[in-house]
Amino acid sequence: MYEHLKQGDAEVFVALDGEEKREAEGLELIPSENYVSLAVREALGSVLTNKYSEGYPGKRYYGGQEFTDQAETIAIERAKQLFGAKFANVQPHSGANANIALYMALMEPGDTVMGMDLSHGGHLTHGHPVTYISKVFNFIRYKMKDVSTGEIDYDEMLEVAKREKPKVLLAGYSAYSRELDYAKFVSIAREVGAVAVMDISHIAGLIAGKAVKNPFDYGFDVMTSTTHKTLRGPRGGIILTRESEELAKKIDKAVFPGLQGGPLMNTIAAKAVCFGEALKPSFEAYAKQVVENASAMAIAFQKGGVRLIAGGTSNHLILADVWSSFGISGHEAETLLDAAGMTLNKNVIADDTRKPLDPSGIRFGTPAITSRGMGRVEATRVAELMLDVLKNGESSVERVRTEVKELAQKFPIPESFA
């Protein structure tokens, strides 16, 4: 795979070769990570990395764009088809860039955005104080009303929105395991004159695969997303506009020249490939299996007496309170499970009393193990192995790692997806 790199840069080769082995012999449970096909990887490493393509198809600032225009147009048309959008911008370098461009397109500095509180499942780019963008715009937050079920406090959301008059009402999350009431979001947005935006980064693949609801069906104006995670594509971002050409034009100008320079044309080609894969009927089966596997893992954890935030899952991820369940921190749990060959991430839980780098929870999910072909039986077994390590600590690590490696070898990372 890395023949030329091995000859030309042995140091970097060692790092990549080590990562190949780590992924092959372990289980990836971070819900924001997945495996891509070799076709996506080929596009990502293609000749298009050589080309500067500032502007948009048919409106570039440099010559020699006939094939870059072709690749980007394919990506745009497939993204529109996949999500039921009238307009799509496929140039954002990341999900964070997509969100920042959206804010720039729809607001002036000092305007208000209403998004989910980070500790209740939101994302850094939804206005956490540590981000620079929080100094530009005024972010206000909503939370869960009932942590045991995950129900959002929509009454309080409406009350605050009426008082603060946000320009953007932002749905979406990075550590929330239930479906939102999209109709209520849109109703509140319309009542206060806000643009209804959904950050679908975590569930884009589930929406594309019809395993969960599509926010556009409930009247959302815009959706932002990454293209990796459940969508199983390269690392990058997209912005989708349901029907407003005026909004779409503002978004295009905000992405370029407002925020970014030349687009990453090799990444855009890889996005086109992954969108094409997601349009295949087999992707729907994949997306549904992701949700089923997450449900199986949640049930196993609940049988093991573990407290789950929101009481379980309706999507691809699970947030578990290991501090109250096992008396260990999220950091300790992450380290133990990593040693046993199962990679996940520490995570804050709702109104966590512990620090973000040593929180009370762990976040894990099923996109990657499902890509390897695992079903409910295997997902349940993985959960049981996790519980073994969480309950018994270092004494179980070596034994569990052996079984994890055997399971990983039984379900190798696929080179393509039928």
Per-residue pLDDT reduced to its tens digit, 99-150:
999 999 999 999 999 999 988 998 989 988 889 999 999 999 999 999 999 9
Per-residue pLDDT band for 5 (boundaries 50, 70, 90) equals: very high
**pLDDT of residue 406 exceeding 80:** yes
Instruction: Give the SS3 label for residue 27.
Output: strand
Structure tokens belonging to residue 60: 């570039």
CA-to-CA separations, 249 to 308, 365, 382, in angstroms, rounded = 42, 36, 46
Q: Are 199 and 224 contacting, i.e. CB atoms less than 8 angstroms apart?
A: yes
Q: Are 227 and 238 contacting, i.e. CB atoms less than 8 angstroms apart?
A: yes
Per-residue pLDDT reduced to its tens digit, 55-66:
999 999 999 999
Instruction: Read off the pLDDT of each residue in 189-203 and give the average, rounded to a whole number.
Output: 98
Is 22 an annotated catalytic residue? no
The model's pTM is 0.96
Among the options 68, 112, 125, 226, which is catalytic?
A: 226
Share of residues in the chain with pLDDT > 90 (%): 96
Among the options 199, 277, 334, 388, which is catalytic?
A: 199
Among the options 17, 23, 54, 164, which is catalytic?
A: 54
Peptide bond into 359 cis (omega under 30): no
CA-to-CA separations, 56 to 61, 66, 265, 361, in angstroms, rounded = 9, 12, 11, 43
- DSSP code of 255? I
Domain 281-410 fold is: Aspartate Aminotransferase, domain 1 (3.90.1150)
The mean predicted confidence, pLDDT, of the chain is 97
Instruction: Give the SS3 label for residue 138.
Output: strand
| AA letter at 326 | F
Is 226 an annotated catalytic residue? yes
Is 52 an annotated catalytic residue? yes
Which pLDDT value is given to residue 118?
Answer: 87
Which pLDDT value is given to residue 128?
Answer: 86
Instruction: Read off the pLDDT of each residue in 339-346 and give the average, rounded to a whole number.
Output: 98
Instruction: Read off the pLDDT of each residue in 204-230 and give the average, rounded to a whole number.
Output: 98
Per-residue pLDDT band for 418 (boundaries 50, 70, 90) equals: confident
Is 173 an annotated catalytic residue? no
Is 358 an annotated catalytic residue? no
Among the options 6, 23, 51, 52, which is catalytic?
A: 52
Going from N- to C-terminal start, the domains of the chain cover 42-278, 281-410
Which pLDDT value is given to residue 1?
Answer: 79
d(CA 102, CA 94) in angstroms, rounded, equals 12
Check if CATH label 3.40.640.10 holds for domain 42-278. Answer: yes
Among the options 60, 78, 232, 235, which is catalytic?
A: 235
Is 60 an annotated catalytic residue? no
Among the options 78, 141, 178, 229, which is catalytic?
A: 229
φ, ψ of residue 407 to 5 degrees: the values are -65, -40
Q: String of b and e for 115-150 (b: at least 16 CB within 10 Å)?
A: bbbbbbbbbebbbbeebebbebbbbbbbbbeebeeb
Per-residue pLDDT reduced to its tens digit, 301-312:
999 999 999 999
